[in-house]
Structure 1
């Protein structure tokens, strides 16, 4: 037992000595050591390299995909915004055009209305002028210009120039039918009586107008005047003709 204790104490002393020796050796300067060079402070604005960190392929791929998706969405949003702006500008333009069209439409409607009123006024003035001319011609000739039927000319002349009605016209027509059968150029070969009323001579009708040879109106006016001045009226002339065979 004593022997084991002595051996243990001896081992402990040896260990203690070794530790002390080691500490002494660390604190001694007999073996020189090289210190790391001091890191100089970076000047302002000077590039300071960053220690490279190895990339993570999966994270890099996710970031790239996200960036690409965001870029596409931004492009689509920009295109949509541009399209919407263009549509808005077109709408504004169409609205402006629409207002201009409405304004022009109103102007055109006003112009059409004014032109219509002017045309109607011109038409009314033309009709009034025609009526005035027709009335003047009737007052002068006794019948409506353009009338070609000889019997109708006679009816109008007896009404307009002599204020005769249908009864006097009937008597006048009765005499003219027997005298000339309404032939403007009828001429009696033996006596030389001429025209509708068989004026003798025919030149007597020149007292009405110089166109007595061919104008039925001139001959009718002369015949009606003759019947009125000699017998009082066509019907009175008819009564005389019926009794005497002439008038």
Structure 2
């Protein structure tokens, strides 16, 4: 049985065993914690993950053809596969009190949504490891002052530390994507909460970055009381502020 990559699912199947092994080995070693692969496809990464994690492994797959392939080729047992869209999966219910480590060759057209869904369940998701479009991977791992530093960087860095591990060319995928790919890992940090509503904080960050070439004094003045803006940030552009700087900014602005 052959699986044809489906464009509407954003499938680009990994072909290179060494990259699959290298990615699987990045996932933190766990005891009695759950490793969840998103979109196993043909199972090339799955084989390395099941070898490491055995009974502590599950996969979530929305493609029925892939599910049949994984079962028919003895890559995964049926009870190890969740037939569902990851973006609708209740990770708190799935975790049953255990930490979850998410891993995958993520469909690039929903990779940001996968990150934000994981952020929604940050009390359950201990780490996220996988392949993204290189541009998205660089944004997630960017440092303040970088051109790739942006909204998703700030909102993810509140809860996770992120490391960029390596770049992958298009030739190791079927079909080859039109972009380079990057493998990153996000690990949960120690922050438990912030002192203001998260939607309000996200709105402040998005407002600042909507006009990222402007200073904060100019980008925020139409939506916020600019008199509350700390002088230390007034002349800076949003990409110059770290997530902790944005928390300090929010403490002044969100009153």
Q: TM-score, normalised by structure 1?
A: 0.24
Greater relative contact order (Cα < 8 A, sep 6+): 2
More helix as a share of residues: 1
Larger Rg: 1
Q: Flag the structure with higher strand content.
A: 2
